[in-house]
Structure 1
Amino acid sequence: MHFESWGLLGLFASAFISSTVAPGGSEAVLAYLVNQNQIPVVSLVAVATLGNTLGALTTWWLGLWAAAKYPADNLLAGERQRSLRAVRRWGSWALLFSWLPLVGDGLCFAAGWLRVSWISSLCAIFFGKVLRYIAVAYAFI
């Protein structure tokens, strides 16, 4: 397999994992690959955005799955209630901030739990994440 393929695959995996409940460092991987100047930046941003968006949608789906078994208000306390309040107040618009560390996972999970529209969630998640990756890539060009 060519280096470019491994780089893109590694970036996708890192971005996907970073956007689920597991910690990750997709920004560092993106910055490294941008500095290597072997893969077009547009391709790097696209792959990172795709992986991170799919990871966030996985977290959204986990929230939807959990909602079928557990009532949101009774199960979550304290910090996690903030995500529920934000999504209740702002709906899918809150997911523009799904790229934020720690907070973003909670927002995606809460949106699924509260059954926020899948398509509007996808759009908000994608838009927030693509802007974040463009900013990161631009900082390292």
Structure 2
Amino acid sequence: MTEYLLLFLTALAAASVIPVSSEILLLALLGTGLNPMSLWLTATLGNTLGAVINWFIGTKISDHADSRWVPVSSASVERASHWFNRYGVWSLLLSWLPVVGDALTFFSGIMRVRFALFLVLVAIGKGARYAVLIITFEALPL
């Protein structure tokens, strides 16, 4: 049970700016014989919740762009808006990407992407990434 909690918290942190890799822990736990479906669900939930936190922060921070205490300028919000409008909400399927994915989830909050749509797209992207890792690991002849 402790392993699942650790994976959940690591996946949650990995969706933030904290430089941690949930993939390494996931693969290590797979090697111990834990249930792959439970590991997939745990990692996906943790990583998706981390993205939800980014989205929520984005929704709150956009009202305060250019404040001294907010590290986001209205110019960067404008650039992100232009990029996000160009590629659309479907780019959230790439929220699993390191660094870029964190920014996507944050700016989708600034852009006020509907939460339900955000949640579905992010969960699909993050879940697919963990599924590919698990399937690949399971297919390796060890």
TM-score interval w.r.t. the shorter chain?
Answer: 0.7 to 0.9
Contact in 2 for aligned 1:91/1:116 (Cα 8 Å): no
The reply to whether residue 15 of structure 1 matches residue 11 of structure 2 is yes
Partner of 1:59: 54
CA deviation digits over 1:46-65, x for unaligned, max 9?
A: 00000000000101111111
Gaps of 5+ in 2: 67-71
Q: In 2 relative to 1, CA 91–73 (structure 1 residues): closer, same or farther, beyond 3 Å?
A: farther
The reply to whether residue 99 of structure 1 matches residue 103 of structure 2 is no
Quote the Cα distance in structure 2 between the aligned partners of 1:89 and 1:137: 33
The reply to whether residue 127 of structure 1 matches residue 124 of structure 2 is yes
Q: Which amino acid aligns with 2:22?
A: S
Contact in 2 for aligned 1:92/1:117 (Cα 8 Å): no
TM-score, structure 1 as length reference: 0.87
List aligned pairs for 1:101-120, cutoff 5 A: 101-120=98-117
Identity %: 35
Quote the Cα distance in structure 1 between the aligned partners of 2:21 and 2:6: 11
The reply to whether residue 36 of structure 1 matches residue 38 of structure 2 is no
- Let me know the Cα RMSD of the aligned residues: 1.9
Deviation at 1:76, TM superposition (A): 1.8
| Number of residue pairs matched by the alignment | 133
Runs (4 or more) in structure 1 with deviation over 3 Å come to 83-86
SS at match of 1:76: helix
Q: In 2 relative to 1, CA 85–27 (structure 1 residues): closer, same or farther, beyond 3 Å?
A: farther
